[in-house]
Amino acid sequence: MSTTGDKILDTALSKIGEKSLFTKELELALERNEVDLVVHSLKDLPTVLPPGFTIGAICKRESPYDAVVFHPKFVGKTLETLPEKSVVGTSSLRRAAQLQRKFPHLEFKSIRGNLNTRLRKLDELQEFSAIILAAAGLQRMGWQNRVGQILHPEECMYAVGQGALGVEVRAKDQDILDLVGVLHDPETLLRCIAERAFLRHLEGGCSVPVAVHTAMKDGQLYLTGGVWSLNGADSMQETMQATIHVPAQHEDGPEDDPQLVGITARNIPRRAQLAAESLGISLATLLLNKGAKNILDVARQLNDAH
């Protein structure tokens, strides 16, 4: 099915100003019982879902990193070794802000369209030296061979939920919830709950540069989160950790309100989910206390004004 975000291709995503760009038409079909479940890239799903919907499964995450695809004449280069003033295409304020800061010799320009369209624009127009895409999308399409460079967190942290698929269902449809619930990957779920809680508490969205990095190691969940000004000049990032044991799946008793950041996962212990949510909120609070709100407010105003 096509969505608003697929159709409005001449405007930067952050300017369209609609939270549910890639989800609205699909949710209408869900509401009308035309479909029973909808599969999204989790990073397209707002941290607060419309009433009556929930994310019933988060599948095991593909690579959450961003990838650089180079114009054929620059194959073998990296962002660092591209010529001065090379133009790099990305539709994401998050990527542009971080990469401008890291690679001041490059220029960043908005590029829209699905993967095929963007790759065609890169190859056929002489406008872009490279474009930045999610590695997961290229992997899913079988186009790994186009990846010229993977961006690691020290170069570019990823979007909340990037690389994971979320399955959205009607919140009261217990049969479907039970059916898709087995698809939850416990580690991905807990990392994404922490990431989504961080974003929700910061009130970040498409129109501000917010990025994260999470890792699970020896019962510890590590969350790094950052905010940037639009040009990357101002930035703030912090890391926090919490003890969370990735559970073997088991059945909990039914909860009154099982949703956390839009997600229902009855077969994963509630305690672990709450600990992940709490980590996200704590990190957001730390950044807000250190002045992140000012950076985000300015970014939002500038983005609205352009």
Which residues form the catalytic set?
Answer: 44
Quick one: residue 155, left, alpha or beta (phi over 0 = left, psi -120 to 50 = alpha)?
alpha
At 36, the amino acid letter reads: D
* Cβ-contact 163, 63 below 8 angstroms: yes
Using CA atoms, how far residue 132 sits from 92, 147, 235, in Å, is: 9, 10, 21
- Cα–Cα distance for residue pair 189/136, rounded to 1 Å: 17
DSSP structure string for 254-276: PPSS--BTTB--TTS-HHHHHHH
Element (H, E) at 28: helix 24-31
Using CA atoms, how far residue 36 sits from 33, 87, 257, in Å, is: 6, 43, 21
Which stretches of 32-184 are DSSP H helices? 93-102, 115-124, 135-140, 174-181
Task: Tell me the two tokens of residue 254.
Answer: 């039914």
At 157, the amino acid letter reads: M
* Cβ-contact 197, 180 below 8 angstroms: no
CA-based nearest residue to 156, from 108, 117, 200, 120: 108
